[in-house]
Amino acid sequence: MRMKAVVFDGPGRDLVLTELEIDEPRATEVRVRITAAGICHSDYRVLAGEWGAATPLVLGHEGAGIVEAVGDAVQGLEVGDTVALSWTPNCGRCRYCVSGRPQLCQSAVAHAYRNVLPDGTTRLSRAGEPVYSYLSVGSFAEYAVVPESGAVKIDAGIDPAIAAVVGCAVTTGVGAAVNTRPVSVGENVLVIGAGGVGLSVIMGAGLQSPGRLIAVDVVESKLQLAKEFGATDTIDATACDVVEAVRELTGGRGVDVAFEASGRAVGVEQAYASLAAGGTAVVVGQVATGERISIDPMAMSGRELTLTGSNYGSARPSVDFARILGLYQRGLLPLDRLVTDRVRPEQLNEAFRAMGRGATEGRWVVRFP
Ligand SMILES: NC(=O)c1ccc[n+]([C@@H]2O[C@H](COP(=O)([O-])OP(=O)(O)OC[C@H]3O[C@@H](n4cnc5c(N)ncnc54)[C@H](O)[C@@H]3O)[C@@H](O)[C@H]2O)c1
Ligand SMILES: [Zn+2]
Ligand SMILES: [Zn+2]
Protein backbone atom coordinates (compact mmCIF):
# COMPACT_ATOMS: atom_id res chain seq x y z
CA MET A 1 0.00 0.00 0.00
CA ARG A 2 1.22 3.57 -0.69
CA MET A 3 1.16 6.24 1.98
CA LYS A 4 2.52 9.69 2.75
CA ALA A 5 5.33 9.88 5.29
CA VAL A 6 8.01 12.29 6.45
CA VAL A 7 11.45 10.78 5.81
CA PHE A 8 14.80 11.56 7.45
CA ASP A 9 17.78 10.95 5.16
CA GLY A 10 20.57 12.04 7.50
CA PRO A 11 21.71 14.86 9.80
CA GLY A 12 21.83 18.31 8.26
CA ARG A 13 19.22 17.42 5.64
CA ASP A 14 15.64 18.64 5.73
CA LEU A 15 12.92 16.07 6.34
CA VAL A 16 11.04 15.20 3.15
CA LEU A 17 7.30 14.63 2.85
CA THR A 18 7.08 11.81 0.32
CA GLU A 19 5.32 8.57 -0.61
CA LEU A 20 6.43 5.21 0.82
CA GLU A 21 5.33 1.63 0.39
CA ILE A 22 3.99 0.00 3.58
CA ASP A 23 3.65 -3.80 3.71
CA GLU A 24 0.81 -5.71 5.35
CA PRO A 25 1.27 -6.55 9.05
CA ARG A 26 2.84 -9.95 9.74
CA ALA A 27 1.47 -12.48 12.28
CA THR A 28 1.87 -10.53 15.53
CA GLU A 29 1.71 -7.01 14.07
CA VAL A 30 -1.00 -4.45 13.43
CA ARG A 31 -1.36 -1.60 10.97
CA VAL A 32 -2.45 1.65 12.57
CA ARG A 33 -3.80 4.74 10.78
CA ILE A 34 -2.03 7.54 12.63
CA THR A 35 -4.41 10.25 13.85
CA ALA A 36 -1.84 12.37 15.73
CA ALA A 37 1.89 12.32 16.50
CA GLY A 38 3.85 14.33 19.06
CA ILE A 39 7.24 15.95 18.55
CA CYS A 40 9.75 14.83 21.20
CA HIS A 41 13.27 16.10 21.80
CA SER A 42 14.49 12.53 21.20
CA ASP A 43 13.43 12.87 17.53
CA TYR A 44 15.40 16.10 17.49
CA ARG A 45 18.50 14.32 18.84
CA VAL A 46 18.46 11.98 15.83
CA LEU A 47 17.68 14.78 13.38
CA ALA A 48 20.55 16.88 14.74
CA GLY A 49 23.00 13.97 14.49
CA GLU A 50 23.42 13.87 18.29
CA TRP A 51 22.32 10.22 18.30
CA GLY A 52 23.22 7.87 15.46
CA ALA A 53 20.52 6.01 13.50
CA ALA A 54 20.41 4.12 10.20
CA THR A 55 18.62 5.98 7.41
CA PRO A 56 16.30 6.44 5.64
CA LEU A 57 14.12 6.65 8.72
CA VAL A 58 10.58 7.74 9.55
CA LEU A 59 10.90 9.64 12.82
CA GLY A 60 8.15 10.12 15.41
CA HIS A 61 7.66 7.83 18.40
CA GLU A 62 4.66 9.47 20.02
CA GLY A 63 1.52 8.51 18.23
CA ALA A 64 -2.11 7.53 18.38
CA GLY A 65 -4.38 6.01 15.83
CA ILE A 66 -6.94 3.46 14.75
CA VAL A 67 -6.15 -0.20 14.08
CA GLU A 68 -6.92 -0.94 10.42
CA ALA A 69 -5.45 -4.43 9.93
CA VAL A 70 -4.28 -7.19 12.26
CA GLY A 71 -1.93 -10.14 11.71
CA ASP A 72 -3.20 -13.77 11.99
CA ALA A 73 -1.78 -14.31 15.49
CA VAL A 74 -2.86 -11.01 17.05
CA GLN A 75 -5.03 -11.71 20.10
CA GLY A 76 -5.58 -8.49 21.97
CA LEU A 77 -6.55 -6.00 19.26
CA GLU A 78 -9.26 -5.75 16.62
CA VAL A 79 -9.81 -3.63 13.56
CA GLY A 80 -11.36 -0.35 14.69
CA ASP A 81 -9.67 -0.20 18.09
CA THR A 82 -8.28 3.18 19.17
CA VAL A 83 -4.67 2.88 20.32
CA ALA A 84 -1.78 4.89 21.71
CA LEU A 85 1.62 3.69 20.51
CA SER A 86 4.42 2.53 22.82
CA TRP A 87 8.11 2.72 21.92
CA THR A 88 9.03 -0.25 24.09
CA PRO A 89 7.06 -3.00 22.33
CA ASN A 90 7.83 -5.58 24.98
CA CYS A 91 8.23 -9.31 24.34
CA GLY A 92 6.48 -10.46 27.54
CA ARG A 93 9.02 -13.27 28.01
CA CYS A 94 12.43 -11.81 28.91
CA ARG A 95 13.61 -11.48 32.52
CA TYR A 96 12.61 -7.79 32.60
CA CYS A 97 9.14 -8.36 31.17
CA VAL A 98 8.36 -11.20 33.56
CA SER A 99 9.64 -9.21 36.52
CA GLY A 100 7.35 -6.26 35.73
CA ARG A 101 9.89 -3.95 34.10
CA PRO A 102 8.88 -4.01 30.41
CA GLN A 103 10.52 -0.60 29.95
CA LEU A 104 13.81 -2.54 29.99
CA CYS A 105 12.64 -5.37 27.67
CA GLN A 106 15.61 -7.02 25.99
CA SER A 107 13.74 -7.48 22.73
CA ALA A 108 12.81 -3.78 22.62
CA VAL A 109 16.46 -2.87 23.19
CA ALA A 110 17.61 -5.28 20.46
CA HIS A 111 14.97 -4.32 17.88
CA ALA A 112 12.95 -1.18 18.60
CA TYR A 113 16.10 0.72 19.57
CA ARG A 114 17.58 -0.28 16.18
CA ASN A 115 14.38 0.96 14.52
CA VAL A 116 13.30 -2.46 13.24
CA LEU A 117 10.44 -4.78 14.16
CA PRO A 118 11.06 -7.82 16.43
CA ASP A 119 11.90 -10.06 13.43
CA GLY A 120 14.71 -7.64 12.51
CA THR A 121 13.01 -6.25 9.40
CA THR A 122 10.95 -3.20 8.49
CA ARG A 123 7.60 -2.90 6.70
CA LEU A 124 8.49 0.38 5.00
CA SER A 125 10.31 0.93 1.72
CA ARG A 126 11.04 3.65 -0.83
CA ALA A 127 11.62 2.46 -4.41
CA GLY A 128 12.57 -0.99 -3.07
CA GLU A 129 15.02 0.35 -0.46
CA PRO A 130 14.15 -0.44 3.20
CA VAL A 131 13.06 2.51 5.33
CA TYR A 132 13.35 2.22 9.13
CA SER A 133 10.72 3.32 11.64
CA TYR A 134 12.01 5.14 14.70
CA LEU A 135 11.69 3.02 17.85
CA SER A 136 9.41 0.62 15.94
CA VAL A 137 6.84 3.42 15.76
CA GLY A 138 7.59 5.91 12.96
CA SER A 139 4.53 8.05 13.62
CA PHE A 140 5.31 10.93 11.22
CA ALA A 141 3.35 9.05 8.58
CA GLU A 142 -0.20 8.23 7.58
CA TYR A 143 0.20 4.63 8.76
CA ALA A 144 2.53 2.52 10.89
CA VAL A 145 2.92 -1.25 11.20
CA VAL A 146 3.87 -2.00 14.80
CA PRO A 147 4.16 -5.08 17.02
CA GLU A 148 0.91 -5.88 18.84
CA SER A 149 2.53 -4.93 22.17
CA GLY A 150 3.46 -1.54 20.72
CA ALA A 151 -0.21 -0.57 20.30
CA VAL A 152 -2.15 -0.12 23.53
CA LYS A 153 -5.93 -0.01 23.35
CA ILE A 154 -7.46 3.14 24.87
CA ASP A 155 -10.93 4.71 25.11
CA ALA A 156 -12.21 5.68 21.66
CA GLY A 157 -13.35 9.11 22.81
CA ILE A 158 -9.90 10.46 23.76
CA ASP A 159 -8.61 13.40 21.67
CA PRO A 160 -5.91 11.89 19.40
CA ALA A 161 -3.44 14.68 20.31
CA ILE A 162 -3.79 13.79 23.99
CA ALA A 163 -3.44 10.07 23.30
CA ALA A 164 -0.32 10.75 21.22
CA VAL A 165 1.50 12.69 23.93
CA VAL A 166 0.72 9.96 26.45
CA GLY A 167 2.82 7.76 24.15
CA CYS A 168 6.04 9.42 25.28
CA ALA A 169 6.24 12.77 27.13
CA VAL A 170 3.44 12.21 29.62
CA THR A 171 4.23 8.60 30.47
CA THR A 172 7.95 9.43 30.72
CA GLY A 173 7.45 12.45 32.97
CA VAL A 174 4.50 11.39 35.13
CA GLY A 175 6.01 7.91 35.40
CA ALA A 176 9.35 9.25 36.65
CA ALA A 177 7.55 10.91 39.57
CA VAL A 178 5.09 8.13 40.38
CA ASN A 179 6.93 4.94 39.33
CA THR A 180 10.71 5.46 39.24
CA ARG A 181 11.01 7.53 42.42
CA PRO A 182 7.54 8.19 43.76
CA VAL A 183 7.36 11.63 45.36
CA SER A 184 5.94 11.59 48.89
CA VAL A 185 3.63 14.13 50.49
CA GLY A 186 5.56 17.21 51.61
CA GLU A 187 8.85 16.39 49.91
CA ASN A 188 10.72 19.21 48.20
CA VAL A 189 11.08 18.53 44.48
CA LEU A 190 13.20 20.07 41.71
CA VAL A 191 12.52 19.69 37.98
CA ILE A 192 15.19 20.96 35.56
CA GLY A 193 13.75 21.65 32.10
CA ALA A 194 10.08 22.57 31.61
CA GLY A 195 9.51 21.14 28.13
CA GLY A 196 7.04 18.39 27.28
CA VAL A 197 8.74 15.87 29.55
CA GLY A 198 9.57 18.30 32.39
CA LEU A 199 6.00 19.63 32.57
CA SER A 200 4.84 16.03 32.78
CA VAL A 201 7.21 15.39 35.69
CA ILE A 202 5.71 18.47 37.36
CA MET A 203 2.19 17.10 36.80
CA GLY A 204 3.20 13.70 38.19
CA ALA A 205 4.92 15.17 41.24
CA GLY A 206 1.98 17.52 41.79
CA LEU A 207 -0.39 14.54 42.10
CA GLN A 208 1.39 13.57 45.30
CA SER A 209 1.19 16.92 47.14
CA PRO A 210 4.88 17.80 47.35
CA GLY A 211 6.25 20.63 49.50
CA ARG A 212 8.11 22.99 47.23
CA LEU A 213 7.94 22.07 43.55
CA ILE A 214 10.67 24.07 41.86
CA ALA A 215 10.94 24.34 38.07
CA VAL A 216 14.08 25.46 36.21
CA ASP A 217 14.25 26.60 32.59
CA VAL A 218 15.92 29.24 30.44
CA VAL A 219 12.72 30.56 28.83
CA GLU A 220 10.44 32.80 30.90
CA SER A 221 7.21 31.70 29.18
CA LYS A 222 8.03 28.06 29.95
CA LEU A 223 8.50 28.94 33.61
CA GLN A 224 5.06 30.59 33.57
CA LEU A 225 3.62 27.43 32.05
CA ALA A 226 5.38 25.38 34.76
CA LYS A 227 3.48 27.41 37.37
CA GLU A 228 0.20 26.63 35.63
CA PHE A 229 1.13 22.95 35.91
CA GLY A 230 1.73 23.21 39.65
CA ALA A 231 5.26 24.53 40.22
CA THR A 232 5.39 26.55 43.46
CA ASP A 233 8.64 28.32 42.51
CA THR A 234 10.64 28.90 39.35
CA ILE A 235 14.31 29.53 38.62
CA ASP A 236 15.53 31.20 35.45
CA ALA A 237 18.84 29.42 34.83
CA THR A 238 20.11 32.34 32.72
CA ALA A 239 19.82 34.73 35.66
CA CYS A 240 21.44 32.96 38.61
CA ASP A 241 23.31 29.92 39.91
CA VAL A 242 20.70 27.13 39.91
CA VAL A 243 22.09 25.17 42.88
CA GLU A 244 22.41 28.28 45.06
CA ALA A 245 18.89 29.34 44.12
CA VAL A 246 17.54 25.90 45.11
CA ARG A 247 19.33 26.11 48.49
CA GLU A 248 17.84 29.55 49.09
CA LEU A 249 14.32 28.33 48.33
CA THR A 250 14.70 25.35 50.67
CA GLY A 251 16.20 27.04 53.74
CA GLY A 252 19.66 25.80 52.80
CA ARG A 253 18.67 22.12 52.93
CA GLY A 254 18.20 21.24 49.25
CA VAL A 255 15.52 19.05 47.68
CA ASP A 256 14.51 15.48 48.46
CA VAL A 257 14.05 14.58 44.81
CA ALA A 258 15.55 16.25 41.73
CA PHE A 259 14.49 15.31 38.20
CA GLU A 260 16.69 16.26 35.24
CA ALA A 261 14.43 16.74 32.20
CA SER A 262 16.42 19.10 29.96
CA GLY A 263 18.75 16.44 28.52
CA ARG A 264 22.04 18.05 29.54
CA ALA A 265 24.98 16.60 31.49
CA VAL A 266 25.30 19.86 33.43
CA GLY A 267 21.64 19.54 34.34
CA VAL A 268 22.35 16.14 35.92
CA GLU A 269 25.20 17.65 37.93
CA GLN A 270 22.92 20.49 39.07
CA ALA A 271 20.16 18.05 40.06
CA TYR A 272 22.61 15.98 42.08
CA ALA A 273 24.25 19.01 43.72
CA SER A 274 20.81 20.33 44.74
CA LEU A 275 19.95 17.28 46.87
CA ALA A 276 19.35 17.32 50.61
CA ALA A 277 21.00 14.49 52.57
CA GLY A 278 19.23 11.23 51.72
CA GLY A 279 17.93 12.68 48.45
CA THR A 280 17.57 11.13 45.00
CA ALA A 281 18.40 12.60 41.60
CA VAL A 282 16.53 11.01 38.69
CA VAL A 283 17.98 11.32 35.19
CA VAL A 284 15.04 11.56 32.77
CA GLY A 285 16.54 13.82 30.09
CA GLN A 286 18.81 12.02 27.65
CA VAL A 287 22.04 13.70 26.62
CA ALA A 288 23.81 13.80 23.27
CA THR A 289 26.01 10.71 22.77
CA GLY A 290 29.35 11.00 24.56
CA GLU A 291 28.44 13.65 27.19
CA ARG A 292 29.76 12.78 30.66
CA ILE A 293 29.08 13.99 34.21
CA SER A 294 31.30 14.49 37.23
CA ILE A 295 30.05 13.88 40.78
CA ASP A 296 31.68 13.69 44.21
CA PRO A 297 31.52 10.06 45.46
CA MET A 298 32.46 11.18 48.99
CA ALA A 299 29.29 13.27 49.24
CA MET A 300 27.35 10.33 47.81
CA SER A 301 28.35 8.04 50.70
CA GLY A 302 28.55 10.59 53.49
CA ARG A 303 25.13 12.11 52.68
CA GLU A 304 23.53 8.92 51.34
CA LEU A 305 22.64 10.39 47.97
CA THR A 306 21.11 8.33 45.17
CA LEU A 307 21.58 8.92 41.45
CA THR A 308 19.26 6.87 39.26
CA GLY A 309 17.83 6.80 35.75
CA SER A 310 14.31 6.55 34.41
CA ASN A 311 13.45 5.01 31.05
CA TYR A 312 9.92 5.68 29.76
CA GLY A 313 8.87 6.63 33.28
CA SER A 314 9.55 3.02 34.40
CA ALA A 315 6.11 2.45 32.89
CA ARG A 316 4.17 -0.64 31.91
CA PRO A 317 2.39 0.94 28.94
CA SER A 318 -0.42 -1.63 28.87
CA VAL A 319 -1.35 -0.58 32.42
CA ASP A 320 -0.03 2.96 32.73
CA PHE A 321 -1.52 4.52 29.57
CA ALA A 322 -5.02 3.75 30.84
CA ARG A 323 -4.12 4.88 34.36
CA ILE A 324 -2.80 8.22 33.08
CA LEU A 325 -5.75 8.77 30.76
CA GLY A 326 -8.10 7.95 33.64
CA LEU A 327 -6.49 10.67 35.76
CA TYR A 328 -6.79 13.07 32.81
CA GLN A 329 -10.48 12.26 32.40
CA ARG A 330 -11.01 12.99 36.12
CA GLY A 331 -9.37 16.40 35.66
CA LEU A 332 -6.22 15.54 37.63
CA LEU A 333 -3.75 15.93 34.75
CA PRO A 334 -4.09 19.07 32.56
CA LEU A 335 -3.03 17.34 29.35
CA ASP A 336 -5.13 19.71 27.19
CA ARG A 337 -2.84 22.48 28.35
CA LEU A 338 0.27 20.45 27.47
CA VAL A 339 -0.60 20.33 23.77
CA THR A 340 0.18 23.88 22.73
CA ASP A 341 0.51 23.78 18.97
CA ARG A 342 -0.58 21.61 16.08
CA VAL A 343 1.42 21.47 12.87
CA ARG A 344 0.97 19.94 9.44
CA PRO A 345 3.50 17.36 8.21
CA GLU A 346 5.04 19.87 5.79
CA GLN A 347 5.75 22.17 8.75
CA LEU A 348 7.89 19.61 10.62
CA ASN A 349 11.25 21.09 9.57
CA GLU A 350 10.19 24.45 10.96
CA ALA A 351 8.84 22.78 14.13
CA PHE A 352 12.20 21.08 14.76
CA ARG A 353 14.07 24.32 14.11
CA ALA A 354 11.82 25.93 16.73
CA MET A 355 12.63 23.09 19.15
CA GLY A 356 16.34 23.65 18.51
CA ARG A 357 15.90 27.34 19.42
CA GLY A 358 13.97 26.41 22.56
CA ALA A 359 10.84 27.99 21.10
CA THR A 360 8.44 25.03 21.40
CA GLU A 361 6.26 25.38 24.47
CA GLY A 362 4.63 22.27 25.91
CA ARG A 363 4.13 19.64 23.24
CA TRP A 364 3.60 20.23 19.54
CA VAL A 365 1.51 17.67 17.72
CA VAL A 366 1.41 16.75 14.02
CA ARG A 367 -1.72 15.65 12.23
CA PHE A 368 -1.91 14.17 8.77
CA PRO A 369 -5.00 15.59 7.05
N1 LIG B 1 14.10 8.93 29.74
C2 LIG B 1 13.25 8.78 28.75
O3 LIG B 1 12.67 7.72 28.59
C4 LIG B 1 12.96 9.93 27.84
C5 LIG B 1 11.80 9.91 27.05
C6 LIG B 1 11.52 11.03 26.26
C7 LIG B 1 12.40 12.09 26.20
N8 LIG B 1 13.54 12.03 26.94
C9 LIG B 1 14.50 13.15 26.94
O10 LIG B 1 13.98 14.16 27.79
C11 LIG B 1 14.58 15.40 27.42
C12 LIG B 1 13.50 16.46 27.29
O13 LIG B 1 12.65 16.15 26.21
P14 LIG B 1 11.46 17.15 25.80
O15 LIG B 1 10.77 16.50 24.67
O16 LIG B 1 10.72 17.57 27.01
O17 LIG B 1 12.32 18.39 25.24
P18 LIG B 1 11.90 19.94 25.16
O19 LIG B 1 12.78 20.53 24.14
O20 LIG B 1 10.43 20.06 25.04
O21 LIG B 1 12.30 20.46 26.62
C22 LIG B 1 13.61 20.71 27.04
C23 LIG B 1 13.53 21.91 27.97
O24 LIG B 1 14.80 22.16 28.55
C25 LIG B 1 14.96 23.56 28.62
N26 LIG B 1 16.36 23.93 28.78
C27 LIG B 1 17.30 24.15 27.84
N28 LIG B 1 18.46 24.54 28.41
C29 LIG B 1 18.25 24.55 29.73
C30 LIG B 1 19.06 24.91 30.85
N31 LIG B 1 20.32 25.33 30.70
N32 LIG B 1 18.52 24.82 32.10
C33 LIG B 1 17.23 24.43 32.27
N34 LIG B 1 16.42 24.09 31.24
C35 LIG B 1 16.92 24.17 29.98
C36 LIG B 1 14.35 24.05 27.32
O37 LIG B 1 14.04 25.44 27.35
C38 LIG B 1 13.10 23.18 27.25
O39 LIG B 1 11.99 23.77 27.89
C40 LIG B 1 15.35 15.13 26.12
O41 LIG B 1 16.70 14.92 26.45
C42 LIG B 1 14.73 13.83 25.63
O43 LIG B 1 15.63 13.11 24.81
C44 LIG B 1 13.82 10.99 27.76
ZN1 LIG C 1 10.05 10.80 23.33
ZN1 LIG D 1 10.85 -8.52 27.16
CATH of the domain at 258: 3.40.50.720
CA of 91, nearest ligand number: 3
Q: Are residues 217 and 359 in the same domain?
A: no
In a domain, 319, yes or no: yes
Contact 216, 242 (CB under 8 A): yes
334 close to 203: Cβ distance less than 8 angstroms: yes
Domain end point (choices 270, 293, 309): 309
Number of domains composing the chain:
2
Looking at 263, 286, 309, the residue that finishes a domain is 309
Does the beta carbon of 171 lie inside 6 Å of ligand 1?
Answer: no
Q: Which residues does residue 2 pair with via DSSP β-bridges, in sequence order?
A: 21
Whether residue 238 is contained in a domain is answered as yes
323, 297: one domain: no
Nearest atom in ligand 1 to 363's CA: 20
Q: Are residues 319 and 302 in the same domain?
A: no
Query: Does any ligand 1 atom lie closer than 6 A to the CB of residue 310?
Result: yes
Residue 257: inside a domain, yes or no? yes
Asked whether residue 6 falls in the same domain as residue 140, the answer is yes
Domain span at 233: 182-309
Cα 356 to ligand 3 centroid, rounded to whole Å: 34
Domain membership of residue 256 (yes or no) is yes
Ligand 1 in contact with 222 (CB < 6 A)?
yes
**Which ligand sits nearest to residue 263's alpha carbon?**
1
Indicate whether 305 and 321 sit together in one domain.
no
Position 369 scores a pLDDT of: 79
Residue finishing a domain among 266, 285, 309: 309
194 lines ligand 1 (CB under 6 A): yes
Residues 197 and 134 in one domain: no
Question: Is ligand 1 within 6 A of the CB of residue 198?
Answer: yes
Q: How far is the CA of 110 from the centre of ligand 2 (A)?
A: 18
Are residues 161 and 195 both part of a single domain? no
Which listed ligand is nearest to 338 at the C-alpha?
A: 1
The CATH number linked to 18 is: 3.90.180.10
Q: Does residue 197 share a domain with residue 305?
A: yes
Point out the ligand 1 atom lying closest to the alpha carbon of residue 267. Answer: 32
Residues 56 and 95 in one domain: yes
Which of ligand 1's atoms lies nearest the C-alpha of 312?
A: 3
List of residues 6+ apart from 248 with CB closer than 8 A? none
Tell me whether residue 177 is in a domain: no
Query: So what's the pLDDT on residue 368?
Result: 83
Q: Which amino acid is at 11?
A: P
CA of 263 from ligand 1 middle (Å) equals 5
Residue 202 domain-assigned? Answer: yes
Neighbours of ion ligand 3 (CB under 5 A): 90-91, 94, 97, 105, 107
Q: Please, which residues have CB within 8 angstroms of residue 252's CB and are 6 or more apart in sequence?
A: none
Note whether residue 174 is domain-resident.
no
Say yes or no: 143 and 211 in one domain: no
Alpha helices by DSSP H, the chain: 41-47, 95-98, 106-110, 160-165, 171-175, 196-206, 220-228, 242-249, 265-273, 297-302, 317-329, 335-338, 348-357
CB of 45 sitting under 6 A from ligand 1: yes
Element (H, E) at 153: strand 151-153
Residues 265 and 361 both lie in one domain: no
CA of 67 to the centre of ligand 1 (A): 31
What does pLDDT average to in each consecutive run of 10 residues of the chain (369 residues)?
98 96 98 98 97 97 98 98 98 97 97 97 97 98 98 97 98 98 98 98 97 98 97 98 98 98 98 98 97 95 98 97 98 96 95 95 92
Question: Per the domain annotation, does 175 fall within a domain?
Answer: no
Q: Which residues pair with residue 4 across a beta bridge?
A: 19
Q: Do residues 330 and 299 share a domain?
A: no
